[in-house]
Each structure stands twice: as C-alpha cells, then as structure tokens.
Structure 1
Amino acid sequence: MTNTRPTAPDGGGPAREPADSRPLRPAADDGARTPSGADGEARTGGNLDPAGGHPRPAAGLDARLVVDRPAFRLDITLTAAPGDVVALLGPNGAGKTTALRALAGLTPLTDGHLRLDGTSLEDTPTESRPVGVVFQDYLLFPHLSALDNVAFGPRCRGAGKAEARAQAAAWLERMGLAGHAGAKPRRLSGGQAQRVALARALATRPRLLLLDEPLAALDARTRLEVRAQLRRHLAEFEAVSVLVTHDPLDAMVLADRLVVVEHGRVVQEGTPTDIARRPRTDYIAQLVGLNLYRGQAAGHTVRLHAGPAITTTEELSGPVFVAFPPSAVTLFRDRPSGASARNLWHCEVAGLETQGDQIRAALTGDLPLAADLTTVAAAELDLHPGASVWATVKATQTHAYPA
C-alpha cells in the first residue's frame, strides 16, 4: 500500500496482503548496515517483522522514470538491491520530488518502466503498490492516537481491529514509543512524530520505502538524535529505501549510495566516499565543501578552461577535474617571497562568513575559490571585503582525476 495523504479509516480496505511479503529483519547488535550482496548472495532468509511474516526472494528496484512537463523533463534510471538505501540529492527544481512521486504512483510516467521485485507497477493502482511513504510533515491523523495511526495501514490491508492494533503496538515498541501509544500527534515531539510516521509506513510491510526530507521538520538538536535512530531502522529494513534530501550530511550518514540529479538528469552516482572525493559538478563540490575546477592536464600541470594553471601531484593527460578543500588554502596579505607552494594566485576578498570557530573567505581574482581560516588568523590578516590577498595551495593538497 502506498501511504499517500491519509483519509479517515473506516475499518475496511482491500484484501489482506499475501503472507509472503517480507518486512524488516531483526536488528543487528551494532546497528551497522550490512551491504547488500556482501556475502555474494541476495539476502533472503530469516527476515520477519514484529507481527510475523515469511521471507521471500526479492530482486529490488529497477526503474527508468520519464516524466514530461512543460519546460521540464525528468529522465533518470534507478536501481537498488534489497537492503540498499539510495539518497536522491539535487538543487531545488532538479526533479527529486517528481521522481519520488513517480515511484509512489502519485505522478504517472510518460515513458520508461517501474519494476519492483520483478513485478511491473506502471499499471498498478497507487493504493495497491507495496510502497510506504514518510512525508516531510509526517501527515499523521490528528484525531487518532499513535497506536491507531500505525494500525491504520494493517486495517486498510484487511486486518481486524485487534490484530492491527497488536501489530501497531509491536512497531511502536520497536521504535521505542511503547509509552506513547495513547498520545495524539499534538502531544508528540518532532522526533516522536517522525518515528510514528515511519512505523506507520513500515506496518504495511512495504517492498519500497520512500522518505521525503524525513528530518527537515526537526530542530538541529533533535535532528542529530533522530538521524542516528533512523540510520538504525534503515539498517534493519530488508527491502529498498529511497531518501530525498537537501542535506548532504543526512545523505552521507543514511545512504549506501547517492544519486545526484540536476535538471532532471543523473549527473553523478556512487558511494558517499566516491562522491565526496570526486565531485563532478559545482553543485556537488559545494555540497561536500570542495573547490572544484575543470581543465586540460599535461603531466603535473592542469591548465584551467578559464583561468591559471594548477600544479598537482597526479600525472595525467587530457580533460580532468581538480579539487581541494578550503582548508588547504593559505592566505597572505603580501606576496610571499619564500613560499614553497607552486600554486600562487592574487585574489580579492569578496565576502566573509562565520562557520563555527572558523571563517570562510570567498575570493575572486586570478582564481575564484573559498578559503577557511581561524578567527584569529582572519583578524591578524585584517581581512575584510575588498582586501587584497595572495592565496597558496600545495600541490600535495590537490586531487586531480579524469573528467
């Protein structure tokens, strides 16, 4: 069942879900996620939910999502094995939400395909799809208790009231909310409401779990705690999870694989480590906090398409990217005479921003870049917008890779 915007439960619903739908596996002792296929085989056995169920083989998600709209076209491919958590990242208007709605059956495909566990879903009614959704604002029934909110899914699948409430109680206990079963949503904290919404989505035993900015409604302190809890619950989920988020930290912590979407297309995908180490667009570089440039390499020298040359430790040839962190940049007010760094550029301070106990300087000039320095260093250099500075970066602190 797709958990779309709730309507008041009436005690009825479609026929009960077949007993072979596979839910969460028992929690690992350390809460760490086991990568799918780590043992060379699909994970298929011993995966029961708190209320019971039977395991079955699963093939995961295989989708090409094509949605045409005036002045916009989404065309992306998504694949994921059972147990994978995939994060969709991208700027506003990139197509992330459209992709999520297409997976849920809320937005029809113009072209492409959507297969889950080998079954085509393009013509399957939204309410009949084995898909659970956790919305950004959770959409809990305000007039129902936490227990009855979670029981709503099993009730719609044909479970009797007592059975549905028993399943819901098991899920709330798993989420650490047994003591809040009788509470209405208005009496729950943001983190508690998020876990109730997650329990409601999982109570239908979905084969695909969709999470739309699941932590966006939380304050910074609560977000840290709930992120850790959500990571544990996703690590236990045996089917496919797709997460949409604007927060790179949420994506890095929660996902096994990142898919970056810009202008309706996938521009890069890979593990969080791969993406962070080798960004391929300015958007991704900003997400992971790197200065990124593109140029032509000849040996250890990269001539930028619009700008100076950068000396690197890698010896390459042809089109390349060059990246380095803002922390690798050293600033001087006067041209350094004895600097060992081969990379030296004359710049001007365009802006200053406080980031925790550091100052990030945005520089223009020979090479537009960002530089991080301590507040003490910024004061000693008397940095201010318009100040003239020299920036250096050691070749050993750059990273070049094929474009």
Structure 2
Amino acid sequence: MTNNSEPTRPHPTSPPGQPAPAETATRAPGPAAPADGAQPPQGPPAPDDESRTGGASGNPNPAEGRPPATDTHPNPHPPTGLQAHLVVDRPGFRLDVTLTAAPGDVLALLGPNGAGKTTALRALAGLTPLTDGHLRLDGTALEHTAPEARPVGVVFQDYLLFPHLSALDNVAFGPRCRGASKAEARAAAAAWLERMGLTPHAAAKPRRLSGGQAQRVALARALATRPRLLLLDEPLAALDARTRLEVRAQLRRHLAEFEAVSVLVTHDPLDAMVLADRLVVVEHGRVVQEGTPADIARHPRTDYIAQLVGLNLYRGQAAGHTVRLDAGPAITTTEKLSGPVFVAFPPSAVTLFRDRPSGASARNLWRCEVAGLETHGDQIRADLTGELPLAADLTTVAAAELDLHPGAPVWATVKATQTHAYPA
C-alpha cells in the first residue's frame, strides 16, 4: 500500500523515553474518552457554532430584557454517524471521495495499491489535512479539529503497541491520557481484555503475544476510549493465513457489537466481504462503485472489481439477447436488454475443447489460445487470449487430458444461462 505519511512528531503524552503509537487519533472532550495513545485535550476544539448549536439568529428584545432569541433547530434530531467529503490534493494525485455511514455500520474502503484508501483513512483521522470538502461526525464538524481532539480510534496495520508495556497497560494508556486514575484505567483495560478473551495474557509484553493476540490488544486499546469512529488500516494483513481465518471471525463479532461507525481499509476482497456492511471501491482517488457486498459481487463495474470477485467482465451494446462487445465478438445472454450493458460470467462457466466442438449446446463459442496456467485453489486457471480474452477454471485432470500449455489452441464455450447481463 502506498504510504504518504507525514513525519511523525514526538508524542507529548508518551511514557518517558518511549514513542507513542504513531499518529493515533483521539476523542474530543465529552462524555467519552480519547482514542488510544492520545494526549488529553488541552481545551475544547475550535467552536463551530452553526453545527454545534444551530446558530443564534434572533435579536435581543430590550423591552422584555431577555437574552437573544434563537430560532428553533431546523432539525431537532441532528444527523448521527459519518458524513464526509474528503478532498486531498497532492502532486500528480487527487483524492475526491464521499463517505456516509450510520452508527453501527461497517464501511470498507476497497481498492488497489495507490488508489487513495490510506489517504482517506488519514484524512478521517486528521493526520492528513483536507484541501477541500467537509468531515462531520454525529453532526459535529471535525475538518479543523486536531487529531488528538477527535472522537476517533485507530488500529494500524502493524498495531504499534508499546513494546515496554504489558497488554493491560497498553489498553489502559488511552483512558489514562483522558484523565482516569491508574486504578480506573487498569480496571477498564481489564474489562476490555476479558471481552477480547485475553485475560490470561494481561501481563504479557507485545513480543510475547501472537499476531492474533496483538491485533486484539490493539483493537481493545482503540475501543477502550469509546470512540465514535473506529478506523482499521489493513487489520489482518500482518497475520498468517490460518490465524487470519480465526481473527477475521472474532473481528466480525466485535465490529457487530460496536455501536458507532467503523471504517475498514483493505485490498483483500474476502476481508471486505466478510467484515463490512457496505463496500466503497476506490480507484485513482475516486469512488467507482459502492453497495452491499452481495450487490458488488454480482454487478461489478470495473475490471479491478471483476477480478476481485472472480468474474470475466465485458462491456458492450445490447439488442435483445445479443450483446455486441466494445472490443470483441458478441455474447448471447438470457436477459433481454437494450443499450449499454455489462456482461459477466465466472471462470468456472467456461468449458474448453482442443478441437471445435460439434453439437455443443452452448450458444457462445470462441477460438482462443492458452497464454498461461496457474494453480487457483484446487483447480487450474487458464488465461486465454484470442477472439475473447478470458479466464477459465478446470480440474488438474481436465488440464492434463487436454494437454494444456502456453500457446496451445483451444475452443472456449459458455452457455447463455451462465452469463449475467445488467445495465452499464
């Protein structure tokens, strides 16, 4: 992932001689505590009268000696959750994305390296200033609020636990910065460790923790301050495949219990599909598609998304059951459409033959050539070029029987019933 981080400043509330977890955003003054690793706020954030009070629009009434009258709030129930338009300009790159989420939602930012996911996360945390746009959380404007005064908790990819502190004291650090006594902070930390199933490891230093345990300590540290926005930057990337499966299930449960907004940044489609309620796919600093995991998996709109969800994707013009591709032959579909459309089908829908099949029931038939072969799970994935570039999955036995190898000519067929067409 592209990391455009600014230089890290020494953190004023770190334990003597130790750096704090880099750039952790924290909670504004109020009933809840700051995010982990943050200094206690030195004063209230810059006032934003219009968003915090509704604005005083009346005039004093000298006759009655009353204070200035105020209009009734136009919205007696101010918006909750996240409303953000993030614009960040850098040389050769511009991030311009809009994000909204209600309390309890888990929003996943998904995209290739360099798409702008990390920049968006840092902008939400206050670590990268906005060039333009706005950022509101529970109706309060935060775009000019310092990172340490934001009601935000962050779990970084490498967790950034204090190496010299126990798991208990790592989690207690945030509440201590907020002003809690040592006993209060440790009691709160103990409760969070119990909730994470880590009580037996409370006294362990980070080097004694497994990757999954360290991830849960970092999550507990972020949640111990009761943030209104939880940011997770590739939270499972540092785990091996076996641990990742277990921790993903645990993280899903903890996020489901979190009452505020969660934003997850990842390039792993499985993490996004399993953990998030809604996906926002970012490419080149722009949102290219958003929706539920099921909707995006069924209706990809870019090649990147199609590859993520494992589909062959094409764009063309539909006339009835025939779609003439923008670059390539026609595809017959079961849907009857008109105008610009996408057509998608899985690699498993492709059947390969070395000779042109006779009497095949498939309506779609193309002459191709094997460009490459690779193991894909328990199957072989063939990358095909020719009349229609596509990917095909087949068993190792079938690949051997067909004597597939780079350069081998093949015929590819796909039944119309296995395609899916939808408006572009």
TM over 0.5: yes
Displacement after TM superposition at 1:9 (Å):
3.2
Q: Which residue of 1 aligns with 2:30?
A: 18
Displacement after TM superposition at 1:138 (Å):
0.1
Q: Which residue of 2 aligns with 1:8?
A: 14
Pick the aligned partner of 2:172 from 140, 151, 159: 151
Displacement after TM superposition at 1:68 (Å):
0.3
Pick the aligned partner of 1:218 from 239, 244, 249: 239
Distance 1:69 1:98, change over 3 A: same
How many residue pairs were aligned? Answer: 365
CA distance in 2, matches of 1:57, 1:156: 29
Structure 1 position 176 matched with structure 2 position 182: no
Distance 1:242 1:5, change over 3 A: farther
Distance 1:107 1:15, change over 3 A: closer
Structure 1 position 301 matched with structure 2 position 313: no
Displacement after TM superposition at 1:15 (Å):
10
Structure 1 position 343 matched with structure 2 position 364: yes
Is the Cα–Cα contact under 8 Å of residues 32 and 226 in structure 2 kept in the other structure? no
**Amino-acid identity (%):** 88
Displacement after TM superposition at 1:20 (Å):
6.2
Give the structure-1-normalised TM-score: 0.88
Is the Cα–Cα contact under 8 Å of residues 27 and 34 in structure 2 kept in the other structure? no
2:164 is paired with a residue of what secondary structure? coil
Paired residue type of 2:388: L
Displacement after TM superposition at 1:22 (Å):
12
Q: Which residue of 1 aligns with 2:71?
A: none
CA distance in 2, matches of 1:123, 1:365: 55
2:307 is paired with a residue of what secondary structure? helix
Q: Which residue of 2 aligns with 1:87?
A: 108
Displacement after TM superposition at 1:19 (Å):
2.7
Structure 1 position 112 matched with structure 2 position 133: yes
Pick the aligned partner of 2:214 from 193, 199, 207: 193
Displacement after TM superposition at 1:17 (Å):
4.7
Pick the aligned partner of 1:312 from 333, 345, 364: 333
Pick the aligned partner of 1:252 from 238, 259, 273: 273
1:196 is paired with a residue of what secondary structure? helix
Q: Which residue of 2 aligns with 1:242?
A: 263
Paired residue type of 2:14: A
Displacement after TM superposition at 1:8 (Å):
2.1
CA distance in 1, matches of 2:142, 2:330: 52
Is the Cα–Cα contact under 8 Å of residues 97 and 244 in structure 1 kept in the other structure? yes
CA distance in 2, matches of 1:293, 1:180: 52
Larger Rg: 2
CA distance in 2, matches of 1:83, 1:192: 24
Q: Which residue of 1 aligns with 2:96?
A: 75
Structure 1 position 99 matched with structure 2 position 120: yes
Is the Cα–Cα contact under 8 Å of residues 61 and 116 in structure 1 kept in the other structure? yes
Pick the aligned partner of 2:292 from 271, 284, 298: 271
CA distance in 1, matches of 2:171, 2:218: 8
Distance 1:258 1:16, change over 3 A: closer
Calculate the aligned-residue CA RMSD, in Å: 1.9
Displacement after TM superposition at 1:355 (Å):
1.5
Deviations 1:79-126 (A, max 9, x none): 000000000001111000000000000000000000000000011111
Q: Which residue of 2 aligns with 1:33?
A: none
Moved over 4 A (4+): 4-7, 14-17, 20-23
Displacement after TM superposition at 1:357 (Å):
1.5
Paired residue type of 1:117: D
Q: Which residue of 2 aligns with 1:396?
A: 417
Give the structure-2-normalised TM-score: 0.84
2:193 is paired with a residue of what secondary structure? helix
